[in-house]
Every structure is written in structure tokens, then in C-alpha cells.
Amino acid sequence: MLSKISIDTIRTLVMDSVERAKSGHPGTAMALAPAMYAYWQFTMYYNPADPFWPGRDRFILSGGHASILLYATVFLAGVKDVENGQVVDRPALTLEDLKNFRRFESRTPGHPEYGLTAGVEITTGPLGQGCSSAVGMALAGRWLATHYGRPGFDLFGYHVTSFCGDGDIMEGVSAEAASLAGHLKLGNLTWVYDSNRISIEGSTDVTFTENVAMRFESYGWQVLEVEDGNDVPAICEALKQGREETSRPTLIILRTVIGYGAPGKAGTASAHGEPLGREELLGARKAYGWPDDAPDFMVPDGVQEHFEELAGQRGRRAQAEWDRQFAAYCAQYPEEGDELRHIFAGTLPEGWERDLPVYPADEKGLASRQSSGEVLNAVASQFPWLVGGAADLAPSTKTLIRGARSVQAPSNMVQEGGGYDGRNMHFGVREHAMAAICNGLALSGLRPFCAGFLIFSDYMKPAIRLAALMHLPVIYVFTHDSIGVGEDGPTHQPIEQLAQFRAMPGLTMLRPADANEVVESWRVAMQHRAGPVALALTRQNLPTLDRTRYAPADEVARGGYVLADCEGEPEILLMASGSEVSLVVGAYERLMAEGVRARVVSMPSFDLFDGQDRAYRDAVLPPSVRRRVGVEMASGFGWDRYVGLDGVVMAMNSFGESGAAAELMAKFGFTVQAVYEQARQLLHPAAD
Amino acid sequence: MLSKISIDTIRTLVMDSVERAKSGHPGTAMALAPAMYAYWQFTMYYNPADPFWPGRDRFILSGGHASILLYATVFLAGVKDVENGQVVDRPALTLEDLKNFRRFESRTPGHPEYGLTAGVEITTGPLGQGCSSAVGMALAGRWLATHYGRPGFDLFGYHVTSFCGDGDIMEGVSAEAASLAGHLKLGNLTWVYDSNRISIEGSTDVTFTENVAMRFESYGWQVLEVEDGNDVPAICEALKQGREETSRPTLIILRTVIGYGAPGKAGTASAHGEPLGREELLGARKAYGWPDDAPDFMVPDGVQEHFEELAGQRGRRAQAEWDRQFAAYCAQYPEEGDELRHIFAGTLPEGWERDLPVYPADEKGLASRQSSGEVLNAVASQFPWLVGGAADLAPSTKTLIRGARSVQAPSNMVQEGGGYDGRNMHFGVREHAMAAICNGLALSGLRPFCAGFLIFSDYMKPAIRLAALMHLPVIYVFTHDSIGVGEDGPTHQPIEQLAQFRAMPGLTMLRPADANEVVESWRVAMQHRAGPVALALTRQNLPTLDRTRYAPADEVARGGYVLADCEGEPEILLMASGSEVSLVVGAYERLMAEGVRARVVSMPSFDLFDGQDRAYRDAVLPPSVRRRVGVEMASGFGWDRYVGLDGVVMAMNSFGESGAAAELMAKFGFTVQAVYEQARQLLHPAAD
């Protein structure tokens, strides 16, 4: 009975919160209340008193629009709050917070936000992302369990469970992630698919009639079906079977009725995205057996205690046992214990910079993808939990960790050797899932990187944005960063990609100019723990600048710096990033030889430069100097910030073409000569 | 025997072209030569003498990296060239063109480019796109056949065939598209899946072990397997079965050996993306039975004639019959014939603008998504082949064509009625496939639109970029275009999306300020046939400006225009787009009342404004006026182009938040008062 009352308490809190907010998504939350109850009360190992417990099961509400379901449960389960990264002795959410659902500056925003509300493991909302990132969390569990597992210890046997809806299942990103999860045989992963046959445009019959069960079987998943979304014992049994099947992921197809209980709206699209209205709400309460005079936000006696008795006690006991084990582990394996503490805290291992190379001046130089590969390997050798890979492009992106094994299910014997504790991920041609999975890895304490051609970052965009929103330290290694790609042509030559990343809040984009800027870019990336970092690297060779002649590369950390200068105030500023820096250096040398006072500014990162104080920025780009040239083999969009109304941006105004890189550069005006001429013209404009 | 010689001619041309180019992808092209031969010679209805024939079968090489396979076939089949949109009597490709493979300004670029090389139906390269757009082409065929079909006529029974590789099949976009194609029962679609078990990182065993056949069966496809990629009769039989199965799409899984014939590299990843090397090339020639002294680019006698005899003759006869039918059709159904001629030419029907509304001034106004919905319906009523829909958001994006049926397989009885000739597409929560399918619809002559929240344009990005690259007139209706979204919070509030579209070449982004700018934006969009157009529209209401007081809205076509002005040279320029225009108008009124000479510039489209001549741009934004304020509730990235070093951009410097839109706007500084204060500060800077 307390079971039914608890479920209906979730439902009424859902309805009341949405009604009060005058917006929100009640239907799915009402439908999933029994599954939520079953999972939290009878299945999940989660200690409400410590939402950071590393051994906890992970719960992901992939359909983030049903956020109120999670908030109501976090409230009822008494999850403790977090302040400045520490658990504090007060509830994460109170009834008052539910009353403030979707309000300005509340703890209960429209979609769950990681870092804002304790108990929320990941920001969700854009469909398909949560369940795909859950694959990363499950993989991280397997990685940690294998890499740090020792006889007699079971520290990372946690299970990852994601609730998904029709939208999540229709999205391509989840299809990619599910295929990879099946390949990796992630038996610690369960997706609960809320199949309610209703979407915003009406019945799913208008567009979604595939056989989902068969599809997931084709991926190698266990597929279970629960015919009645209100049948708690059946849901518990399916969740249990999901945990017991350790050699493949599990999909539980749960048939539910959207807006269950609402007399007129249950089972209809109108229960999805708007308040039910007072009449439907009262009708639903009646259907649940709620008293006629029940106040809004009623929490019947005993419900919170019931959550404490089941979910709370089980979680508490489990964490106590885990704490005991972890202490014994640290005593027996102090080095591994130290590493795990770094992983839990998100800090870097001692000496991670030890092997970073320094590159001597070299006219021929090397491609920045090449130097990046060397730097990555130098870091990886000192950083055991740096793990990543490419979307089937590792030989081109130079992102293989040498001598390391492949990340694979142990039963999958591959040529280079594999196991769950490998270092090299083979994501397949699944860029979007790659990025979503990296979010899950980062949320689990691993330090992930992933790689592809810069143009294919387009496929990853929604997941990268979530990394930025969640401040996750994922590193993106994007190579083939311009028309310098050459023969592969315009489908493979990025134009607008640098601009779109620079315009994205929270992401740091770096485009190093030579091998030593690559070293410093990686240094920035590794130390930057407050958000994702993207590196834009060349396919083609870049000269390694003579740093005895020009400024040292460590100023990369400031985003932009004076690379080469003149005596006194410059007459002209020449700016560029990445491969174009050597062009402006060439033009600078010619101008200086002719007696022009010129300055070269290397601008590897707009984001970092804009974060410097005004004095520094003005010192690098003196406001009084208005003759400015910005050069980049990409869309010039955004360069005007530094070039102003009186300068010139030399950039791409069209898509690229197929041909030898040098021919393309000549055609589109990226030569020393062209920069030089542009500068001369600014210095001595022809009379109009 | 001529069959084998022809196939091996394709293979040797492939090898020789890649060898000469010193880069390229020989392996897949060699492996697929028999399938290509089987398809072109025995299955496809395609007249090499008229690559524009509307009744032709469509061939899509989804793995565009194997472009040389298509080029070699276009050459051997003698496809005629096109100049200024007209077929001319010379070959589209000569042997010389193959020798220039991947060279600067050649007709044989690294990936096939639509519009550059006759015989190329679509630009491919980014994986998963070609086969997904093929779904749109097949749907267009069904739409045309149903809408324009009359007893005794079969004008649009064409079949669409896409060759795909492992990468295409791994991508999420193709999973979405395949699910929808199955739902729509597109029996005129065949995907030939080249399963060679090899990807760039090695064996597909490292990441791709799902059961592809079962997956496609789950989508409702017919799945056939051909065990030997060299077995031409078996391939022909499978292709035939694909055509004969008219009630569902067909997947043919073709087992091939990458780099077939190369003695050391066949079946290995090294045959994928680089020249084979002279030794392997000679070894392969030997395996094919080529004479030892065969010159490079040898085309044995009779091979081109053999293509003419089979593919050429069949296509010629088929088109002759089609031409006869079409003439009879036009005689019997002149109106429909006229419409079809518009469709084939890509022109607009007479009177399409007839019902466009004009909105009176209205302080309360309406959301631009709302006025857009009205305008869309006004256009649709006069434009029968304007077809589109949303990714399960039509009620929110206001993109339902009223009174029209749903696009469905005839056997699928849905509430609003459906059929292949419906107008309302239900794409499902499959944004990426939606965009790719619209590319296919546009390539087939329909005028497609698709809709979603602006934030979810991120999911569509790779396909939108291809629309821009191919100059396809797809219209994107993006609503919920700023933090004005309100309670749904930062996962649903676009920030960098406007910037990323403005930075993309070839796409025209419009963000109208009120209902009349919406009308003009749609007018621009419909008339713009040289590339895609995106509309950014609000969720929230916008006042309808009094156009007797301010400038008329038809200047939207110029991208930016003086909306409100002062006497003489302005002291300050206030600029904004979309919902922020009314803020700057409010600030303008206060400044003018205080005697400040201010000007308001409405900037609905950077792209269109930047396309105006310098005189116009300088007239709108006089270079001498440096006090400038740009206001937009999005990333300010790119606004500096108009604001300069001395002005101020009032924009979002972070992600948004969940809360009421008005509270968010106040918090982030988007109020009349804030704009007014910023302007005052520019006019009278406080002493530092």
C-alpha cells in the first residue's frame, strides 16, 4: 500500500509542480513513477547521504523534459545537498524547491542540470544524449573495475540505468551508442525504454513503426518487455535480470500510458508538454484515491520514511561496505589508491608534464597533427587514466597511444590486444556517439579525448555543447583543419567550424601555429578542468618557429601574444592563428626589412585571449593602431573583433575546392606575398 | 568476357587514377566495380545522353571517397556533359579528366560534387549523408508518382539506388533515415551495402559487430545477401528483387574484398585510403589478366561500345518512351504538365505570393513562429509542391499545412489522413535524417521545408552544410530562437547557433523582427533558389511595428536597413535583429526625445547585408559614425563586423538559464533601459 501511495505521491507532486509552474511535461513523469519507484526503492545502490559516492549506481533520465520526476524522487529519497563540492547536511531539494519548478534561479530548472542539483548525474534535454552518455559511464565502470580491480575487491561493480523515451530511441546518436555498447558487451548498462506510443505530433504510428526489440537484439542486447508500466514487481524483475546479465546490455521495453490517471488526457499527446489543467489534475487525484480535500503538494505520512527504509538503508549499507573495502584497498595498494583519489577529485597525476617535448627550429617542420600525436603520447605515458580514440580515423589523427591495448570486451580478441582497461577506443564511424560517450567517461572521472577531422565535428556538435554546458574536461583533437586538407575537397575542408566553436560558451578552442604551440596547447588542455578544450591541427607540415628569434610559445596560455615585434609603436598589426602564422611572419620579415614597424600577434585561442584583462589585451593589440590584418584559412566571421572597421580580414568567403593544398592556398590568397601586399595597401592606400 | 574486361577496366582506371593523383581511395572502388557494372549495365534506367531526364533512375555513391569508381563509370558509359544547365554533345568526362583526378580545378575532384560533374546526382563524402538523402529522392519519386499520376501514365516509377559502406551504415543519420524509409515503405529504394569488414582502423571487428541484416529487418526492409561481390549474375538478381519488392525498401548486403586483385593489399586497411603503389598495381593487373605491357589508363577495345549497347541503349529507349508519355500527359493534363515543368526547372508557380498577409501595427503582436505559420500556409495554398514538416515539433514550430494530409504509405491509415502525396511530413525525432532527406527532396524538384527548435539545428548541421555546398533551396524553419525560450532552460536556448549559420558559406540566415519582416523573410526564402535559407523565429510574442512610422519591411531583402532615423548624421547607431529590434526602437525613442540623433538599423540577415554593395552598406552604417551598439540575445560573435572596436555588443556571454523569459532578459541585460543606458554611456563616457 505504501508502495502505491509513494508512486502516487510522485505523480501528484509532478502534476502540482507543473500546474504551479504553468508549464512543463507531466505525462511522462506520471507514467514513469512506478518504474522510478521500483528502481530507486528495490534496485539501485545509491546512498542519498552521499551523492558523490564513487561506487554508486548511476541513474540517467535521458528524457530530461520529465525532470520533475527526478526532482520529486530526489526530494522523497532525501538526497543530501552539495556546496562547493562538499556534501552538506541538508536536503538537495525541499518541497519549496518543487513549488519553484522551472522558476528563475531555482534548483529545479526545466531540464536537469548537472552541478546545479545534487542527485542529477548529467544534464539532459536534447534527446538521445543521456542514454548515449550512459554508455560512457558504463564503460568507465568496466575500465575502472578492470584497471584497478584486485582479487577480493569489488569497487566498481556499479550499474548504469537510463530511462529513455521514444525520442531517445529515434535519435541516431543513441543508435550509434547502442551499437557500440553491444559490441563492448556492457553488461552493467540498462536502458528502460518508456514506450507510450505518443509523441508531440500524435501517435508514434505516424512515423515510428520499427521493431525496436529486434533492433536492439541486432546490436547484441538482451531485450526484456514489461507489458504494464504500473506493474512494480514485473519492473523489479526485469531490472534484476538486467543486472544479472553481465555479458551484454539490457533494454527493458516498458509499456506505459502517458499521463496515467488523468481522466481525459491519459494516453494523448496533450498530456506531454503542458499542465493538465485543474480539472484533469483533480480527476487524476481521484483516480489515485487521493482525498477530495487533499492540498496541493501533499506528501502523505510515511512516504519519505518509506524511501529512507528501502533506498536509503540499502544505499547506506552498500557505501559503508564500499568504504571499508576502499580503505583496505588503499592500504594494500597505496599507489593505485592514490590514483583513484585523483580520479575521484578530478586532479592530475604528479609529473604528468615530465615527458613533454621541446621542438628545435625547423624550416620544414611537421604537421601539427603529428606533433600533437607525440605530445599526446608523452602525456599518456604519465597519465594512466587518459583514455580515448577516434571515429575510425586514428591513423590520420595520430591519436593512437603507442603500445597500449584496445578498449574491448575481454572476449573480443583483436590484433593489438584488448580488454576493458585498454587505452585506445575504437569508436567506429560514430562521431556523435563518440562525443556523447566521452561525456559519460568524463562524468565518471576518466580523462577522455576523442579525435576526428575538424569538419566532422559537425556530427558531434550537440554532445560537445553539453560538455561545455556541464564544464566537462573532454579534449577534442580535430585535425585536417583547413583547405590545407587539399585533394579531399570542400566536403572535407572546414570553413565555419572554428567560428562556431569560438562562439560557443564554455569551450576553449586552440589552433596552435607550430610544434611548440602544440605542446603548450596540450598543456593548457590538460590543466583546464573547467570545460572542454578543442585543438585544431593541420594535415600539412608547418615550420617550427625559431623561438630564440621570436617569443616563446608558453604565452599560448594567454590565447594571443606578441610573437614578433618592432621598436616603438607598430604601424601595423599582423594577426593569425595556426598554419597562417608562418605566413604573417614571412610578411612581417619583408615589411621590417623595408623599414615598416610591424608586429605579429599569434592568436591560438580567441577564448583564452578574451579572458585576459583589458591591459594585457590592449598591450598586445594597442587600440591606437588601426591598421590591422587578420589571416585565417577559414570563415573570417568573428575576426573583426580584433581587426575592427579599419583593418582587413583575409579569410575564406566560400567553400574550398579539391586540389593540391599549395594551389588552393594560392588561389584563395593565403601566401606570404598576398599578406605582404595587403599590408602595404593598408599602409599606403591607393587614392580612390 | 566483355563483362569481365569491362569490370577490370573500371578497376585499372581506378588504380591508375589514384596512382597518378598520388592520393585517393582505390580499395572500395575496385571492390565495387562488379556491382557498378551490374547496376549500370543490367538494371539502371539512365540515358547517358541526357543526365537531366526526370524519369531516370538515381544512383548515389554514398561513400564519396570512392569517387573514382563513379568517374570511371561515367566515362565508360559516355554520359554527356552539361553547360549552363543544358546538356551538350560532348562527354562529361574524358580519359584526360581521369588523369587529372583530384587535381586543382579538375572535373574529377576528391569527392563527387553535384553541379560540377554531369552524372553526379549529389555531393557525397561525409558518411551517411548520401544514402539518407536517397530516402528523400525515393520519397520524392513516390510523391510525384502519386500526386501527378494519372491512369495510363507511369512517369515517376524511377528507382533510387545507393551504394554504401561500413561507415555509412555505422552513422546515426543513416539509422534514422532507414527507420523512416521502412516506415514509409519506400519500395523504390535500394541500398547496396558493401560489407568488406575493413575500416581505416583495421578490421571492423574492433568496433562493428552488430547484425546489420537483422537491424534492417527491424526497420521493415527486405534484406538480401550476395556472398561474392564478383558474382555479377547474383548481384543482378538481387538488384532485380529489390525493384520487384515495391512495398518496402531493400538492403543488399554484398560481401566484397577491398582492393580486390591487389596481391598483398587486398582485404587490408592499407588498400583503403592511399595509392596501392606500383608493385601492387602491376600485381593486380596481372591478376586481372591484363597484358604485361599494358599502358596506364588502358581502355580495351569494345568496352565503351559495350556500355553503349547495354546501359546506353536501354536508357535511350526508356527515355524515348517517357518523352512520348510525357507529351501525351501534357496534352491531356495541361495544368499538371505546367506544374511538372516548373518542378523540373526549379521555378516558382505563378501567383505564389498572392495570399501573403500584411500585418497592421500591434503593440501586443504575435510570436514570429506564429506569423511564420500563417505565411507558410499562405504560400502553401498556392504552391502545390511545397512539402515539409518537423522533427516531432510541428505544433510548436507552427509548420503544419492546414487541411493537408500526412505524407504516409497508403497502407498506413493515420488520423489526419495520409498518402504519398500528403504535404505534412512527420520526420519523428530524427533531425539529422530530416535535413538529409530534405536534400534528397530538393534534388528531386520538390520545394522542401523542415522545422525544429533552433537549438536542434545542431543535430542537422552536416546535412545543412551539404545543402549549402550544393546550392539546394531548402528552407529551415527554426523557432525558439533565443533565451526567450524561457523555462526550458540552457539545453534549449540557442547561443552560438546564429553565429555558426552566419559563418557558413552559401546559407542565408534571416531573423525577422516582427510579423511583416516574417512575411518578407519568407518572400526572400521562396525566391532564393541558389541555396538554403534558415529562418530564426521566436517562441515569444513580438510587437508588430508601425510601418507608417518606421521604414517598410520590404527592405528585409537587403539584409539590413534603416528602420528609424534622425535628421542629419546620427550620433549613434543602434542595431539589432529579430526580437531585440523592438528593444533598440524603445531606446531610440527615448534618446530622440532627449535630443540625441540616433538611428536604428534592423539587421535580419548578415548574409544578405554583406552581399550589398559598399555604397549601400556605408549609407546604412556610415563609416564616420563610430558610436554603435549591437544587440542580440545570442553570442555576440560576429557582430563586431558592424560594431567595430569603438562600439559595444550587447549579447550573451554564457549559456542561458531556466526561468521566465522576462526575468532572463532582465538578468542578461536585454531591456530597453539597458540598451538606453549603454547608448548614453557611449555618448557620454564616464571619466576613467
CB atoms under 10 Å from CB of A410, counted, come to 13
Q: Which three cell numbers, joined as nine digits, stand for B2?
A: 566483355
Least confident of A402-416, A461-475, A596-610, B244-258: A402-416
**What's the mean per-residue pLDDT of chain A?**
97
Report residue B688's pLDDT band, with 50, 70 and 90 as the boundaries. Answer: very low
Distance CA A371, CA A377 (A): 10
Distance CA B107, CA B99 (A): 10
Q: Mark out the alpha helices in A289-417 (DSSP H runs).
A: 303-307, 313-332, 334-345, 368-380, 394-397
| B200 Cβ under 8 Å from any chain A Cβ | yes
ipTM above 0.90, yes or no: yes
Q: Which three cell numbers, joined as nine digits, stand for B228?
A: 561474392
- Cβ-Cβ contacts under 8 Å for B560 (sequence gap 6 or more): B575, B601, B602, B603, B604, B605, B606, B608, B609, B612, B617, B620, B621, B642
Of A113, A431, A517, A520, which one is the catalytic site residue? A431
Distance CA B78, CA B125 (A): 24
- Inter-chain residue contact A505 with B655, CB threshold 8 Å: yes
Q: Which three cell numbers, joined as nine digits, stand for A625?
A: 593602431
Nearest to A393 by CA among B65, B46, B524, B598: B65
B196-240 residue pLDDT tens: 999 889 899 999 999 999 999 999 999 999 999 999 999 999 999
Report residue B414's pLDDT band, with 50, 70 and 90 as the boundaries. Answer: confident
A244-265 residue pLDDT tens: 999 999 999 999 999 999 999 9
Q: Which three cell numbers, joined as nine digits, stand for A471?
A: 564544464
Are B2-319 and B362-543 the same fold in CATH? yes
The CA distance from B658 to the nearest CA of chain A, in Å, is 5
Q: Which three cell numbers, joined as nine digits, stand for B615?
A: 555604397
Report residue A687's pLDDT band, with 50, 70 and 90 as the boundaries. Answer: low
Query: Residues of A numbered 97-156 whose beta carbons fall under 8 angstroms of chain B's beta carbons: which are they?
Result: 102-106, 109-111, 113, 123-128
| B610 Cβ under 8 Å from any chain A Cβ | no
* The CATH fold of domain B362-543: Rossmann fold (3.40.50)
Which CATH code is given to the segment(s) B2-319?
3.40.50.970
Residue type, A629: V
- Cβ-Cβ contacts under 8 Å for B592 (sequence gap 6 or more): B566, B598
- Residue A288 dihedral angles phi and psi, to the nearest 5°: -80, -10
Distance CA B390, CA B392 (A): 5
Distance CA B2, CA B7 (A): 8
The DSSP bridge partners found for residue A91 are: A80
> What is the mean predicted confidence (pLDDT) over A193-209?
93
How would you write B405-470 as a 3-class SS string? Answer: CEECCCCCCCCCCEECCCCEEECCCCHHHHHHHHHHHHHCCCEEEEEEEHHHHHHHHHHHHHHHHH
**DSSP structure class, residue B659:** S
**What's the mean per-residue pLDDT of chain B?**
97
What pLDDT, on the 0 to 100 scale, is given for residue A688?
45
Q: Which three cell numbers, joined as nine digits, stand for B57?
A: 533512375
Question: What's the Cα-to-Cα distance from B123 to each of A431, B34, B102, B115, rounded to whole Å?
Answer: 20, 23, 15, 9
Q: Mark out the alpha helices in B250-407 (DSSP H runs).
A: 278-288, 303-307, 313-332, 334-345, 368-380, 394-397
CA A381 centroid distance within chain: 24
- Inter-chain residue contact A200 with B488, CB threshold 8 Å: no
**Pairing relationship of beta strands A86-91 and A80-83 according to DSSP bridges:** antiparallel
Least confident of B181-195, B603-617, B673-687: B673-687
Write down the residue that cell numbers 547607431 correspond to: B573
**DSSP structure class, residue A674:** H
Class of domain B552-683: alpha beta
Residue type, B495: I
What pLDDT, on the 0 to 100 scale, is given for residue B304?
98
User: What kind and span of H or E run contains A477?
Assistant: strand A475-479
Q: Which three cell numbers, joined as nine digits, stand for B575?
A: 542595431
pLDDT exceeds cutoff 60 at A150 = yes
* Pairs of residues, one from chain A and one from chain B, whose beta carbons lie less than 8 Å apart: 372
A561-612 residue pLDDT tens: 999 999 999 999 999 999 999 999 999 999 999 999 999 999 999 999 999 9
Report residue B440's pLDDT band, with 50, 70 and 90 as the boundaries. Answer: very high
pLDDT exceeds cutoff 90 at A685 = no
For chain A, percent of residues with pLDDT exceeding 90: 98
Nearest to A15 by CA among A271, A232, A198: A271
Shortest CB distance from A176 goes to which of B170, B218, B504?
B170
A13-28 residue pLDDT tens: 999 999 999 999 999 9
A218-252 residue pLDDT tens: 999 999 999 999 999 999 999 999 999 999 999 99
Nearest to A654 by CA among A675, A637, A640: A637
pLDDT exceeds cutoff 90 at A90 = yes
**Minimal-distance CA residue of chain B relative to A430:** B171
Residue type, B345: A
B482-511 residue pLDDT tens: 999 999 999 999 999 999 999 999 999 999
Q: Are B357 and B372 in contact (CB under 8 A)?
A: no
- Inter-chain residue contact A429 with B392, CB threshold 8 Å: no
Q: Are B44 and B311 in contact (CB under 8 A)?
A: yes
The CA distance from B209 to the nearest CA of chain A, in Å, is 6
What pLDDT, on the 0 to 100 scale, is given for residue A415?
82
> What is the mean predicted confidence (pLDDT) over A174-180?
98
Q: Which three cell numbers, joined as nine digits, stand for A144?
A: 575502472
Q: Are A583 and A576 in contact (CB under 8 A)?
A: yes
- Residue B557 dihedral angles phi and psi, to the nearest 5°: -60, -20
* The CATH fold of domain A556-683: Rossmann fold (3.40.50)
Domain ranges, ordered by start, for chain B? 2-319, 362-543, 552-683
CB atoms under 10 Å from CB of A645, counted, come to 18
- Just list the catalytic residues of B: 431
Report residue B68's pLDDT band, with 50, 70 and 90 as the boundaries. Answer: very high
What pLDDT, on the 0 to 100 scale, is given for residue B416?
82
**DSSP structure class, residue B110:** S
Query: Residues of B numbered 31-90 whose beta carbons fall under 8 angstroms of chain A's beta carbons: which are they?
Result: 64-65
- Inter-chain residue contact A109 with B664, CB threshold 8 Å: no
| B605 Cβ under 8 Å from any chain A Cβ | no
- Inter-chain residue contact A211 with B205, CB threshold 8 Å: no
Per CB-CB distance under 8 Å, the chain A contacts of B468 are 655
